[in-house]
Amino acid sequence: MILSAQERFRPCLPTVMGNVDYKELERQLKRIDAILILTGTEKDFIERSLRHWAEEIGMPLEKISEKARLTFQKHSRQALRCNILRALMGDSFRDFSCQLAGWPLFQWFCGVDTWGAVKVPAKSTLQRYSQWLPAKEMREVIYGVLRKAGDPSFTLGFEKPFDFDCYFLDTTCVKAPIHFPVDWVLLRDGTRTLMKAVKLIRQQGLKHRMEEPKEFLKRMNRLCIQMTHSRRKKNAKKEKKRILRLMKVMVGVVSSHAHRYRDLLDRQWEETEWTHPQAEQVLKRIDRVLDLLPQAKKQAHERIIGERQVANEEKILSLYETETNVIVRGKAGAETEFGNTLLLGETAQGLMVDWKLWKDSAPGDARMLAGSLARVKSGLEIRIKAVGGDRGFDSQSNRESLEDADIYNGLCPKDPEQLKENMQEDRFSWLQKRRSQTEGRIGIFKNQFLGRPLRVKGFAHRELAVTWAVLTHNLWVMARLPQVEIKQKAA
């Protein structure tokens, strides 16, 4: 499947003295490099990328030229390593491209180190790399690494293989990159997006009779300022209703102008300097906002003028991230969060063996357990012997299903008396103490590997970013563990 390429000469890494942090980073990257090669992860990723590429272009892989396949293999290898290193460092596409250009260590790991001029991927190329394989394929790549880690005959230089007997799981919220969803602010967002799009169209020479777009933006900003200060007035409720009515009129005028300019661009885009895809991008931007503005107006009317509640499943939280949910956490400082529910499951050594990001409102924690265990069993071909989790995962059906599957129940019971009784068992007590570390693992995963917040648009891209973060996290955990050779030398 993979074509053999001629080996090339690569410059040696410079010797850096006096910086312990750099030496530790160098050691970790060299260890990750060895794991990718020894486990066959890099080979598996390239083969899956080739098959996916052939399916996308609708051509059998055997009929693609050797030169094209070798080039794609090179980019696939770079995509794997650039995505891992970028997630490990927590950089944006632009910042990582700049770091890659200046660090020989990063160039070595990503395979872009050459004699003379060094060509590194630009930010747009790195963005394409982040979407190189779909999340379903990436899950199989991760399962491949985990199966090698759990194979007793394949130690990867560790003292012993990883233990998958005990399984710990918890849920969290992956926040969407949106501002706090205030109803009247959505009207401002729609006005701003539409008028900026109209301004772009007018700059291309396509004009219709209307005031300058900046005038509408000024008026909407004044109304927003008035709405902000209305709560300080005696008749605050009446004042908010008056200002919202003015906003609704403004949005109606802006929408009508946007409709006309949208149709004008659709008919005469060839008269502009844009290509057809560029014109389509502006049209999609306008269409998306025009489709959601009526619902946003109705929502603001219901909540501010009608003083009626709107069900969470009917709310618009953002005009740009529509696949966002209201998640009631009930925690200090996070009573309510806006994003997607994420389930994470780990082993005792900290390897993440299951994850699932919910697009719609997630079920209760107790209803997630059975599906998670089934994914681990089918994906890793292993049998879990004990499960630990908080009281949210406890239910009568889960207790019965764990007993039927001969899996030790280390879930925290909701009944305080039952918890007091279970804590007398050493195994249950250990599982509960170890389960508390999963919350810290989630904090490391979100803050170090996902970013705060995850700046990826669209649920499909967020799901893929989570999958890449899981792969990077597992490689990071493996690279930090001591090796047999190191201990022997120390002895």
Strand partners, 327: 337
Instruction: Sort 111 into a burial class: Cβ within 10 Å, 0-12 / 13-18 / 19+.
Output: middle
Is 80 exceeded by the pLDDT of residue 482?
A: no
- Contact between 11 and 104 (Cβ < 8 Å): yes
pLDDT band, residue 489 (cuts 50/70/90): very low
pLDDT of residue 323: 85
Is 90 exceeded by the pLDDT of residue 186?
A: yes
What is the full DSSP assignment across 271-306? GSSS-HHHHHHHHHHHHHHHHHHHHHHHHHIIIIIS
Token pair of 112, please?
A: 């872009």
Cα 433 from Cα 487, distance rounded (Å): 29
* Interval 395-450: pLDDT, tens: 999 999 999 999 999 999 999 999 999 999 999 999 999 998 999 999 999 988 98
CA dist list (Å): 25 to 28, 30, 31:
5, 9, 10
CA dist list (Å): 259 to 189, 266, 271, 295:
17, 11, 19, 17
Is 80 exceeded by the pLDDT of residue 116?
A: no
pLDDT of residue 119: 87
pLDDT band, residue 148 (cuts 50/70/90): confident
Cα 243 from Cα 222, distance rounded (Å): 10
For 181, how many CA atoms within 13 A lie in the half-sphere containing its CB?
25
pLDDT band, residue 332 (cuts 50/70/90): low
pLDDT band, residue 1 (cuts 50/70/90): low
Is 80 exceeded by the pLDDT of residue 488?
A: no
pLDDT of residue 12: 80
Average pLDDT rounded to a whole number, residues 293-297: 93
Cα 115 from Cα 107, distance rounded (Å): 12
Average pLDDT rounded to a whole number, residues 25-42: 92
Instruction: Please identify which residue in the block is written with the tokens 């879990």.
Output: 384
* Interval 376-397: pLDDT, tens: 999 988 889 999 999 999 999 9
Q: Which residue has the higher pLDDT, 314 or 107?
A: 107
- Contact between 394 and 414 (Cβ < 8 Å): yes
Is 90 exceeded by the pLDDT of residue 302?
A: yes
* Interval 358-374: pLDDT, tens: 998 889 999 999 999 99
CA-angle at 474, arms to 478 and 16, nearest 5°: 55
pLDDT of residue 18: 84
pLDDT of residue 490: 43
Is 70 exceeded by the pLDDT of residue 196?
A: yes
Average pLDDT rounded to a whole number, residues 197-223: 94
Average pLDDT rounded to a whole number, residues 137-151: 90
Average pLDDT rounded to a whole number, residues 62-79: 91
Average pLDDT rounded to a whole number, residues 337-346: 91
Average pLDDT rounded to a whole number, residues 157-182: 86
Residue 115: φ, ψ to 5°: -75, 135
pLDDT of residue 486: 47
- Pseudo-torsion of CA 343, 347, 350, 356, nearest 10°? -20
Cα 486 from Cα 491, distance rounded (Å): 9
What domains lie within the chain, and their CATH numbers?
A: 20-133 (no CATH), 149-178+322-484 (3.30.420.10), 183-314 (no CATH)
pLDDT of residue 4: 61
What are the start-end ranges of the H helices in 58-134? 66-89, 93-102, 104-110, 123-129
pLDDT of residue 223: 95
Average pLDDT rounded to a whole number, residues 261-289: 94
Closest CA to 266 of 281, 256, 251, 288: 281
Q: For all residues of the chain together, what is the average pLDDT?
A: 89
**What percentage of the chain reaches a pLDDT higher than 90?**
66
What is the full DSSP assignment across 329-366? EEETTEEEEEEEEEEEEE-TTS-EEEEEE-SS----GG
Average pLDDT rounded to a whole number, residues 42-56: 93
**What percentage of the chain reaches a pLDDT higher than 70?**
95
Amino acid at 119: K
Is 80 exceeded by the pLDDT of residue 6?
A: no
pLDDT of residue 16: 85
Token pair of 201, please?
A: 């169209």
